Copies of this chain bind each other. A is one copy, B any other.
Amino acid sequence: MRGEDDRVSVSPGERSVRKRRARGSISADEILHGAYELASAESLDSLSMPRLAQRLDVGVTSIYWYFRSKEELLDVMTERALAEFDQAINVPVDLAWDEYLTTYFTAYRDVLRDNSLWCDLIVMRGSALSPEALRVAKQRVDVVVDILTKAGFATDDALRAHAVLSVYARGAILHYRQWDSPDSPVRIDAEFPDQIDPFSVTADEAFAFGLQNAIRGLRALLAQSAKR
């Protein structure tokens, strides 16, 4: 329990004696940066307006000059997370379509599984995206769709394939959070030897199986439509 000392506590001698800050001494960027750092170092759950203000050495209410609400602050944090996430996944575009999908969505899952802040902001939270963030998201989709259509898929099928695989990847992340994460609250200890343990499938195995299965399905779809 050491290290839990960063509460709001003020040592008895020096009573909260922060000087009033100058007029231009805070900025939206600075607040965003501080919030992101705090959530990064601890967790999104532990990001609160008072804790953030304390960290920035600012009055709590000052934050509200730059962000109408915590919600709005989180929205902007999500934009940053999305941009960083976007950069974290880079897949060579010269792969065959099935290899591309495998690489892309495996990275998609791994990255979000291993960065809990990105996961909290992007996967768990539905936030209002700015036109700019929307543009980036659409561009990503376009790359995948492009590769699939060039491989012979109809545009609609390519779009749906992307939607399906990203939904699947996010589902896998959600599942991981709840069952397979090292700090998951869920513990399974009961044993019923006469029944098959449906949780014996580890997350990695299961994810890879599902991804390959979906790609097998797409391959069959491609073969079907090629025949006609």
Contacts and interface: CB of A to CB of B under 8 A. Distances in A.
Contact of A205 (B135, B160, B187, B207): B160
A159 B220 contact: no
Nearest to A181: B126
Contact of A215 (B131, B161, B217, B219): B217
Interface stretch (A16-24, A26-34, A46-54, A168-176): A168-176
A155 interface: yes
Interface in A197-224: 197-198, 200-201, 205-207, 209-210, 212-221
Interface core residue of A128, A177, A187 (most chain B CB under 10 Å): A128
Given A141-B196, A198-B159, A164 B209 contact: yes
A112 to B, nearest CB: 12
Contacts of A141: 196, 198
Interface string A147-163: 00000000101011111
Contacts of A213: 161, 164, 214, 217-218, 221
A219 B221 CA distance: 12
A129 interface: yes
A96 interface: no
A53 to B, nearest CB: 25
Given A128-B187, A142-B195, A209 B178 contact: no
A137 B215 contact: no
A208 B145 CA distance: 19
A201 B161 CA distance: 10
28 contacts: A123-B174, A126-B185, A128-B186, A134-B190, A138-B192, A138-B196, A141-B196, A142-B195, A142-B198, A145-B198, A159-B196, A159-B198, A161-B213, A164-B209, A164-B213, A167-B171, A167-B172, A167-B174, A167-B206, A167-B207, A168-B171, A170-B175, A171-B171, A213-B214, A213-B217, A215-B217, A216-B217, A217-B217
